[in-house]
Amino acid sequence: MDVRQGKYYFTADVHMGMGDGSDARLQKDFLDFLRSVPKDAEKLFLLGDIFDFWIDYKCVAPRGYVRILAALADLVDNGVEVLFYPGNHDWWVTDYFEKELGVKAVKENCSVIELDGRTICLGHGDLPAASKGKARLIFHLFHSKFWIGVLRAMPIRFIFWLARTWSAGSRSKHKPDPDVTDTGLYKFADKFGRDRAAAGEPPVDLYIFGHIHTPARAQIPDIELPGGGKLPGGTLIILGDWSAGPSYYCL
């Protein structure tokens, strides 16, 4: 696999472990990608749903991803900082990635960071995309400490059966969003930028999210300032999923 050259790499929604016959191809594509990231790259951002389902315990972690996990550890050993922003399918990580692989798990709905003078807002995108009541309810259930505790108390085989059943049902109902300006992510970016401007904070140059599985790029409208003048609204990058092949963005 030829990987575009850059210092910073962003990917999401690989959904390894779906159990629908595509997993061998997904794992190979993702492994090839990880092994092809240049050794002089600085950061790799895994923006959620890398696994179709992940939950780990103090003494137990899911099987089936040995080469993937080894490739992540190799990147860390070679000086690449790997940051994992769990999504709605793999939120239930503990300290496994950090202690075993050196991969930092960032459990934030979105983060604002600086990369080479650019202000970037990034995350998986499930909360910003959840503009409807049902989606927000599911989000808060998945993040509830009480329900996470209930989940971890259940037999592991039952948990994985339940997760695969839910995931299959979620995919069957998923519809692409052809108009990016009508998505919750676009509306979130627009409001987020205006709120920052009102607070006197610098504008965001790039918003990078996944979650909705439809790759897109859109310009956020400029921000009108009360005293006159404008601030740039920034650019929204939505990462695609890996169902049709590798999907990533680099800077």
Q: How confident is the model at residue 1 (pLDDT cuts 50, 70, 90)?
A: low
Which has the closest alpha carbon to 122: 69, 84, 178, 75? Answer: 84
For the purposes of burial, counting CB atoms within 10 Å of the CB of 217, is it exposed (0-12), middle (13-18) or buried (19 or more)? exposed
Rounded distance between C-alpha atoms, residue 193 and residue 138, angstroms: 26
Average pLDDT, the chain: 88
pLDDT > 70? residue 138: no
Q: pTM for this structure?
A: 0.89
Domains identified in the chain and CATH numbers? 8-250 (3.60.21)
Which pLDDT tens digit goes with each residue over 84-117?
Answer: 999 988 888 888 999 999 999 999 889 999 999 9
Over residues 42-56, the mean pLDDT reads 93
Which pLDDT tens digit goes with each residue over 169-228?
Answer: 666 556 666 688 989 999 999 999 999 999 999 999 999 999 999 999 999 999 998 888
Residue 176 half-sphere exposure, CB side, CA atoms within 13 Å? Answer: 10
Count the neighbouring beta carbons within 10 Å of the beta carbon of residue 87: 24
pLDDT > 70? residue 231: yes
Over residues 4-25, the mean pLDDT reads 88
E strands, the chain, in order: 8-11, 43-46, 81-84, 104-105, 111-115, 118-122, 206-209, 216-219, 223-224, 230-231, 235-238, 249-250
Would you list the DSSP string of 17-64? T--SS-HHHHHHHHHHHHHHS-TT--EEEE-S-SBSS-B--SS---SS
